[in-house]
Amino acid sequence: MFVLLTSRPGQFHTEPTDGITAVEAYDYVFYGKRTARFVIAELAADTKVRIREDTPPGVVNLVSTRFLDKYATLDAARDALRQLASFGSMDITLVPVPVAVDGRP
């Protein structure tokens, strides 16, 4: 099972926890500016995702993966991400970025 995790620079970032392994990561570039990072992560079982605000006081929330859309295959998750990143003729690009060896974005 796969899920999409989203981070927005300067606002919040999503951190995988135990049971979640980042597989691929993409920067979402909107008219030349990176506005988000999407991570396709493999989900071993329902767990919680850590969402950390980037601005003080840096609130941290744990959100159940039950609330996330799930995809049966990596290709299905990629297709969902492509659909999120396309809207008419807008200049939107997904740029692949490396995933750390430990499966963290």
95: left (phi over 0), alpha (psi -120 to 50) or beta: beta
pTM: 0.88
Residue 49 phi, psi (nearest 5): -105, 140
Domain boundaries, the chain: 2-97
- Tell me how far apart the alpha carbons of residues 55 and 12 are, in angstroms, rounded to a whole number: 8
On the question of pLDDT at 71 being above 90, the answer is yes
Each residue's pLDDT tens digit, 24-54: 999 999 999 999 999 999 999 999 999 999 9
Task: Assign 101 a pLDDT band (cuts: 50, 70, 90).
Answer: low
**Model pLDDT, residue 102:** 57
On the question of pLDDT at 103 being above 70, the answer is no
